[in-house]
Amino acid sequence: MLNIKNEVLVRVYLLSAAVLLVAFVITGRLYQLSVVQAPKWETKADSLFLKFVDVRADRGNIYSADGSLMATSLPFFNVHFDAKAEGLSDEVFYQNVDSLAWMLSTYIDQQYTPGAYRDWLIQLRQSDPETRGIRYVPIAKDLPYQKMLMLKTFPLFRLGRYKGGLIVEQNPKRERPFKMLAQRTIGYVREGALPVGLEGTFDHVLGGSLGKQLMLRVPGDVYIPVNDLAEIEPHSGDDIVTTLDINIQDVAENALLNACKTHDADHGCAIVMEVKTGAIRAIANIGHAREGWWETYNYAIGERVEPGSMFKLASFMAMMEDGLLDDFNLKIPVYKGKVKFYKEELVDATPHGLDSMTIRQVFAQSSNVGTATLVQQYYGDTRKAAAFIDHLHDFGLDRATEIEVGGEEPPVIKNPNDPKSEWSGTTLPWMSIGYELLLTPMQLLTFYNAVANDGRMMKPYIVQRIMHNDEVSKEFRPTTMKRNIASRKTIAKAQELLKAVVQEGTAKNIRTDLFEIAGKTGTTQLNYHKFKARSGIRYQAGFCGFFPADNPVYSCIVVISESKNGYHGAEAAAPVFREIADKCFALKSELHAPVNAAPKSKLASAQLPSIDAGHKDDIKQAMKWLDMDWFGDREMPDWAVLRARNDSLLLLPRVISSKTVPSVVGMGLKDAVFLLENRGCKVKVNGVGKVVRQSLAPGTKAGGNTSITLFLE
């Protein structure tokens, strides 16, 4: 029994020893694989790892309204060399390396000699005995298409990818043919950055759909394409057509840039909108950057500021809606330009010393005291103040425009019934002149555009259609935000006040005889509260309006911030508006009344043809073709003369004798020679045109060898 037990124990011990031995062998092998031979097998794994990688599609283009290209993707190419290409033999490599080095040195990068290139290529081929060459080495970056085609003809590279080691990858780059023009509005999409502008908003349209390409991972955690073509082809993006007018955009940017330079401003913006549709024809932003003037931020859409006196239009319209300002000639006190509200002093920007002004003058001369006094008088208590705010809501001033370009901030307008608004006793008078509320330039322009459009508020828009393969896939039409922001009577009176600002008020410096401008200046003090004097005051100059005033085609706002050399709206912003308006007037036929729209004006005698003589039928035919009336005996001799008298033309007979020299003054050369030679005269001619003088007086006996000289002009 004991022997059996011992035998069992021996077998158990032997089995245990065998298990332990196997465990030790496995552990040792694992250690060898995971530690000792780890680099070898990691390299092997790297060389065999394949995966699908996203391939970007060709990005769609962005066009202006007239089809000018504003943003497009141009093909550029990155070229790499695979020193371990499967079909690249040592014999082929060394036969071509000298020629390839010379071509690279001559046409790709001349800072390296052919010898340096040769040594480098050989080093790539021989650098790693384990893998026999380095893979995916950069040869050239961002090559244009033609140069890439030339590189494909180089020795060795002409053998292609597998036999020559050439790897070509397309790397499209976004280009703007007009450079800085509307740069911030067009925007960009960049990895690691928030999308900006139209590129960002319409990225899903412009970007198309991704494709898939099989990539091989090589040492260094680098992926190289297995094939030149993608396994799943990407679908190119659609194009978008904007409402921007290249000419107006260029005018707006240049005028704004010159003003920012002249007044040493920190930044500025300008917007031009089509009155009837809300289409944005130009949107310019200029900022002071380290590298100079640039479109660093879309101030027109993203910067909320206190609009200052440009907001007075809303205050006056609120009072007009309530029937409080029926007579613009009514005089109101302005207290020599200074008044106090709850111990806070309010002053007019320009000292005038007047005790009173008419309501028209208060608006035209932009009196802070007059405006605030009126609003406080009519809406001073909380209940009435709420009615004033309700009018601002009716005018659409509490709404964001929701324009396609991102970054718009909603308006901020205080409410006396909202404890969070921090409403105080001085809020209303200061709000009436454009403080204690925030609007972007685009939001304020939308309000002014509604006034120009007889009360209809249009939604601003900057994209009019999306194109797929040159066919319209989606169209954006003008959209009405509000049919009537105010009564027709109020709108008409508001237009009248805006015209007065340019005709006789703060903006009379931009008045022109070519067309009428309507608008409002604004000068805002940015860094202090309620006109308390402080050092280092910063200002914002603005002008908002429309033109031509009687039949508005375009509305426009100009805002220039923190100028150090002239900061009033009239001197800094209004001239920019005038320059934009002048150029638009010169460029756009729709701003000109048709020549034949008005009744034909009567011409003065100096403007009418006079002493034009000839055959009566010829004269009558010419007058009919010119659509000019004449008076005279319908039955007269064959020869006649036109004479101007006051604003009329008289057709009078010219007596022609058969035996004497006739008067040919006023005739053309053909008629004059015909008459004189038929009477036996030899004619000499001096000059061109019609006869203004003849050497022989009319009535001189003709015949024989009579010689006469005609002087023509």
Q: What crossing angle do the helices spanning 368-379 and 382-394 adopt, rounded to 10°?
A: 110
Is 38-75+172-237 assigned to CATH 3.90.1310.10? yes
At 595 the pLDDT is 61
Question: What is the mean pLDDT, run by run of 10 residues, along the chain of 713 residues?
Answer: 66 76 79 72 57 70 90 86 82 87 88 88 72 70 88 88 82 83 84 83 82 61 59 74 94 93 93 96 89 85 93 96 92 89 84 88 93 92 89 95 90 89 89 93 97 96 91 92 95 96 94 93 75 65 94 95 86 95 86 67 63 81 80 77 77 82 86 84 87 85 80 86
> Strand (E) positions, 565-695?
612-615, 639-645, 648-653, 681-687, 691-694
Are the CB atoms for 244 and 282 separated by under 8 Å? yes
Sign of CA dihedral 345, 347, 351, 354: negative
At 129 the pLDDT is 45
At 317 the pLDDT is 96
Is 229 buried (19+), middle (13-18) or exposed (0-12) by CB count in 10 A? exposed
> 457: which 2 tokens?
């508020």
At 331 the pLDDT is 92
Name the DSSP class of 658: S
At 2 the pLDDT is 55
> 332: which 2 tokens?
């109101």
Are the CB atoms for 412 and 303 separated by under 8 Å? no
SS3 category, 7: helix
Is 534 buried (19+), middle (13-18) or exposed (0-12) by CB count in 10 A? exposed
Pairing of strands 681-687, 706-712: parallel
At 531 the pLDDT is 46
Q: What angle do CA 402, 408, 410 make, to 5 degrees?
A: 80
Are the CB atoms for 277 and 564 separated by under 8 Å? no
> 476: which 2 tokens?
């954006």
Are the CB atoms for 553 and 560 separated by under 8 Å? no
Please tell me the pTM assigned to this model: 0.74
Q: What angle do CA 625, 628, 629 make, to 5 degrees?
A: 125
SS3 category, 549: coil
- Measured between alpha carbons, how far is residue 617 from residues 42, 107, 612, 622, 653 in Å? 107, 79, 13, 9, 12
Are the CB atoms for 643 and 632 separated by under 8 Å? no
Strands in 280-289's sheet, in edge-to-edge order, are 292-294, 280-289, 267-274, 554-561, 539-547, 518-525
The residue assigned the tokens 């005889």 is: 513
d(CA 249, CA 255): 10
At 437 the pLDDT is 93
CATH of 248-590, one of 3.40.710.10, 3.30.2020.10, 3.20.20.220, 3.40.50.740: 3.40.710.10
Q: What crossing angle do the helices spanning 488-504 and 441-452 adopt, rounded to 10°?
A: 110
Residue in 391, 467, 400, 480 with CA at minimum distance from that of residue 440: 400
User: For the chain, how many helices (H) and strands (E)?
Assistant: 21, 32
Name the DSSP class of 605: G
Structural domain boundaries in the chain: 38-75+172-237, 82-162, 248-590, 605-712
Interior/surface letters 654-672, b for 16+ CB within 10 angstroms, e for the rest: bebeeeebbbbbbbbbebb
Sign of CA dihedral 346, 352, 358, 360: negative
Pairing of strands 69-74, 639-645: unpaired
Residue in 26, 25, 5, 23 with CA at minimum distance from that of residue 15: 23
At 124 the pLDDT is 82
HEC states along 21-76?
Answer: HHHHHHHHHHHHHHHHCHHHHHHHHHHHCEEEEEECCCCCCEECCCCCEEEEEECE
